[in-house]
Amino acid sequence: MFLKPRATAAFLATLTISHAEIAVEQVAKGFERPVWAGVPNGIKGKLWVMEQAGQVWIVNEKTGEREKEPFLDNRQDVSRKGNEEGLLGLAFAPDFVTSGRYYVDFTDKEKQTRIVRYTSTDRKTTDVATGEILMKYPSEFENHNGGWVGFGPDNMLYIANGDGGSGNDPHKHGQALDTFLAKLLRIDVSPKTGYTVPPDNPFVNNKDAKPEIWAYGLRNPWRCSFDRETGDLWIGDVGQNNWEEVDAMPKGKGSGANFGWSLREADQETPAKGVGGPPPQNVVEPIYVYKHGGGEKEGFSVTGGYVYRGPVKELQGRYLFADYQNPRIWSFVLKGGKATDFKDHTKELQPQGGRINLISSFAEDENGGLLILDHTGAVYRIVAH
């Protein structure tokens, strides 16, 4: 892009101010395909980092050093045959400090998704024999597994599943209510063993539907989050050939939501013959979409993020997200149900002397600050500069 001479000075001044306000610092490195990080309630100074092959490590946030023993090692159960398979998500129970309970989502060697509850007695390591399989269902193909799990403000466990893979949703899972695929599930894991279905789930009384379903019409939700301040739900849903999308639902408003896949790719009709169609009557439109391409506002695979609630004033209340294949980092403010004040932070959020290559996930620390995971092995924190 070429600027008129009289605009250049003002532009550079603005750019300099922007670059002086936020930056990234490396927290740790040397991980094998990190895809998730997080911190249990009530613990400071540590960070849990997940490797896709099936290990989770506890890291000292100040030194970047990891514990000698992994917090979890379930590689014997995890499939890494497909690029999108593996250990994909983790959610600590809200009372993890006292109960030691947490939940993981992974693809197993039988091409199934498993939701497993583990218990760590010392909060530092896990005996895999404590694992209790809560749910197990076919993933069908090797891609579109979703994999995010998280506790909502209602203390229910939410599980985000892709449509089972391949292209154009060949088995029509997106709009079907008799499968867990292409869905956001909601279950109550408070019982000592197993789980129960919350009685206020939207399809509890529908004999033709899975009662665990909370919302549907998702293609491949890659990273969801709950706003720690408002309780709103955010979803980054990976598109197919043309569009990527970000969805958002206010706290308490997501029950029965239909995000449109496979009739819709983002807010457009899916072009494949016999697949796309007009918006279903109850569709929830995305709040932000972007085209496929290598431009500054384009990409190929969205990585959902968080509404920033940490110490950096520049980012307060902004939803940060990224693209995996065109590694750009953006943010906007949601006002009146629309994305406003869009910003591109890609240049300023690069490590000194290097770059972030493949943004696999964002993570929150105990203070609401944000971390960025590079799939090639490093974890960075966004800081004021």
Q: Give tens-digit pLDDT for 235-256.
A: 999 999 999 999 999 999 999 9
Distance of CA 290 to the CA centre of its chain: 18
Closest by alpha carbon to 167, among 80, 77, 273?
A: 273
Q: Which amino acid is at 289?
A: V
Q: Which residues of the chain have pLDDT under 70?
A: 1-20
Asked if the bond preceding 262 is cis, omega within 30° of 0, the reply is yes
Is the torsion defined by CA of 52, 320, 325, 139 positive or negative? Answer: positive
Distance of CA 346 to the CA centre of its chain: 19
Asked if 181 and 173 count as a contact pair (C-beta separation under 8 A), the reply is yes
| Spatial separation of the C-alpha atoms in residues 110 and 158, rounded to whole Å | 23
Q: Are 301 and 325 in contact (CB under 8 A)?
A: yes
- pLDDT for 16: 37
Kind and range of the H or E run holding 60:
strand 55-60
Q: Is the pTM value of this prediction over 0.75?
A: yes
Task: Give me the residue spans of the domains in the chain.
Answer: 5-384
Angstrom distance (rounded) from CA 335 to CA 341: 9
Asked whether 201 and 212 are in contact (CB, 8 A), the reply is yes
Half-sphere exposure of 7 (CA within 13 A, CB side): 4
Q: What is each CA distance from 257 to 120, 172, 224, 298, 355, in whole angstroms?
A: 35, 17, 15, 27, 38
Q: What pLDDT is attached to residue 11?
A: 35
Contact, 144 vs 130, CB < 8 A? no
The superfamily (CATH) of domain 5-384 is TolB, C-terminal domain (2.120.10.30)
